[in-house]
Chain A
Amino acid sequence: MADPTPTAPPPATHDAGEPIAEHRSRMRVTIDTVLRNRLAVIGLVVLALLVLAAIFGPTIAPYDINDINIADRLQGLSSSHWFGTDELGRDVFSRVLVGARVSLTVGFIAVGIAVVIGVPIGLVSGFYGGATDSWLMRLMDILFSLPAILLAIAILAVLGPGIVNAMIAIGIVYTPIFARITRGSVLTVKESVFVRAARSLGATDTRILRSHILPNVVAPIIVQTSLSLAFAILAEAALSFLGLGVQPPEPAWGRMLSEGRGFFQQAPWMAIFPGLAIVITVMAFNFVGDGLRDALDPQQRSVIESRGVG
């Protein structure tokens, strides 16, 4: 047997040949994971289409949404009216298309309000603890204990109906959830080793909040945002169904449903299509939200939110 001289150990390899994969940025990994999830991709595509509809709706709609045409009222599906016409002869397809604008706007702004108010509350509450935490969370709990749609209706009873008030109402309803989630993340991170290390190096509170706590809190907030958007859209639809949201003549899917109710037997399409639009939109947000959750924080249990909304 030949006399083998010990060769230097080969570089760290995972197997016979391939080098170890380099470290990839967290965002890239997240995006990749989400894109691999087929449902999430479908959701994203649908959402993109909806955003386009919201922005360009009035321009690309085949008919003006206020184009009243009594002669053509209550027509069924046809090549000139894909979704039929309503009781005033208006094209349902155009109105559904433009209705995307209201739904998405209210949804995004309402959730935006909830995030803008709820996250800082959660941050302060979780970070400073003590009495502040106690009182803030008590307030959140009280808001949380009122069923969502009831709270929204009550707020609108005071403020009066309208699109802005609807956004405020829904925003207030969803604030506690964001406060709670943020607070939970802060509490988890606050006691972790690297925060203590930063403190021992003399970092100020604001710095710690900004550089250490916030980045870790972002993930659950992102997931919650997309899930809340889904429910916010349902909430808006419910409110406009009840006549408390967007006022005429702006088309809103919920209100179109309510109007369609009166003409059930003659023109069921008036109610079917706006409803379908809502279902598809909500499902899209849910898919994206689930995909984000699987990618960012698989352990986060999906919060069973009040499905009583809508």
Chain B
Amino acid sequence: MTNYVLRRFGQMMLALLGVSVIVFALIHLVPGDPIRVALGTRFDPDTYAALSERAGLDRPIVVQYFAWLGSALTGDLGVSFRSGQPVTTLLLERLPATITLAFAALFVAIVVSIPLGIVSAIRSGSKLDYASTAASQVGVSVPDFWAGIMYILLFALALSWLPPSGYVSILDSPIDWLRHLALPAVTVGLISGSILFRFVRSAVLEALHQDYTRTARAKGLSEREVITRHVLPNAWIPIITVVGLQLGFLLSGVIVVEVIFAWPGLGRLALLSVQDRDFTVLQGAVLLIAAMFLVINLIVDVLYAYVDPRVRY
């Protein structure tokens, strides 16, 4: 077990290293001089010189890479070409919003999908099952940005129940924080929930049809006992995995939703940095997001190995 964890950790570090290479390569694949491109019309010889020196773009590539990696490990990811602010600061400013949205969306997804998924599997073929499955089909096919727009249309503009966009810190006003969080969380959460639902349902169905379920019934257990004591403990294992993976995706993939709801998260920062050609910021954002993704995947794998006796022993 410990061996497994160590091995997976090593793999993750390697992957992270690989990602860092790719991220670093980004800035050097851009045709032309990245700083000049970034400054664009606001070009100014002094700023250019200062940034150039800071970025050290005249040194050999390999040296640059290790220098960058080295400072990254100490928390220095360079400076924004656009604003001059340290990249790390920018990233940390945006992190809370992204994390909040990801967890809120996951919460919505879990609350919707797990009970429905379990019941649909148990009552497979019932009206509830058909209705939920159909709804999840739609949910999986809907682009989150369109769903977001539709919700804004309905709840913010037509009904004026909720604000259409923006973010309020929980420290300033819990109620407003919640009101601003609701639509984006539901937008992403329902879609994530649709994916989860299908998975939960199939995991429970599979467990229901196993031989050990028949054995449990043959021992005289009531249907409810069979489900709670034998079916669900087996189904939880893959479900936990998928929930964890979803969290990983949520932390990294909600860029478009952030744009629609003007949510000040990492994804929106990454996008803006693309539009601004602000490569250091882009590098930092991609690296951070990828790192979070990889770490969560690692946690999920380890958790799975821990929870499933078949792997543990």
A binding-site residues for B, Cβ under 8 Å: 138-139, 141-142, 145-150, 153-154, 156-158, 230, 234, 237-238, 241-244, 254, 257, 260-261, 264-265, 268, 271-272, 274-275, 278-279, 282-283, 286-287, 301-302, 304, 306-310
Contacts and interface: CB of A to CB of B under 8 A. Distances in A.
A261 B274 contact: no
Contacts of B246: 304
Interface stretch (B40-48, B253-261, B305-313): B253-261
A254 B274 CA distance: 18
Contacts of A149: 253, 255-256
A235 B6 CA distance: 35
Contacts of B181: none
Given A145-B293, A150-B289, A241-B145, A157 B274 contact: yes
B144 interface: yes
A308 B254 contact: yes
A75 to B, nearest CB: 18
A289 to B, nearest CB: 11
Contacts of A307: 140, 144, 191-192, 195, 249, 253
Nearest to A306: B249
A271 B286 contact: no
B187 to A, nearest CB: 12
A283 B245 CA distance: 23
Interface of B: 11, 14-15, 18-19, 22-23, 26, 29-30, 137-138, 140-146, 149-150, 152-153, 157, 191-192, 195, 198-199, 202, 242, 245-246, 248-250, 252-256, 259-260, 267, 270-271, 274-275, 277, 279, 282, 286, 289-290, 293-294, 297
Given A149-B255, A275-B149, A141 B157 contact: no
- The A contact surface, by secondary structure, is helix
A234 to B, nearest CB: 5
B253 A148 contact: yes
Nearest to B202: A301
B217 to A, nearest CB: 25
22 contacts: A141-B18, A146-B19, A146-B286, A147-B293, A150-B253, A241-B145, A242-B255, A254-B145, A260-B149, A264-B149, A271-B149, A275-B146, A278-B146, A279-B141, A282-B140, A282-B143, A286-B141, A287-B137, A301-B202, A307-B253, A308-B253, A310-B143
Given A150-B289, A156-B274, A286 B140 contact: yes
A52 B267 CA distance: 37
Nearest to A139: B18
Given A146-B290, A307-B140, A238 B145 contact: yes
A141 to B, nearest CB: 6
Contacts of B146: 257, 271, 274-275, 278-279
A226 to B, nearest CB: 13
Nearest to B164: A264
B14 A138 contact: yes
A286 B260 CA distance: 26
A257 B199 CA distance: 30
Contact of B252 (A147, A238, A260, A272): A147
Contacts of A241: 143, 145, 256, 259
A242 B253 contact: no
A275 B256 CA distance: 14
B274 A309 contact: no
Contact of A157 (B26, B192, B245, B267): B26
A306 B141 CA distance: 13
A302 B198 contact: yes
Nearest to B12: A145
Contacts of B260: 261
A154 B146 CA distance: 23
A254 B146 CA distance: 9
A146 B248 CA distance: 10
B289 A153 contact: no
A141 B17 CA distance: 12
Given A150-B290, A254-B143, A271-B150, 16 more contacts: A150-B255, A153-B255, A154-B23, A154-B282, A257-B146, A261-B149, A264-B152, A264-B153, A265-B157, A271-B146, A279-B143, A283-B138, A302-B198, A304-B242, A310-B143, A310-B145
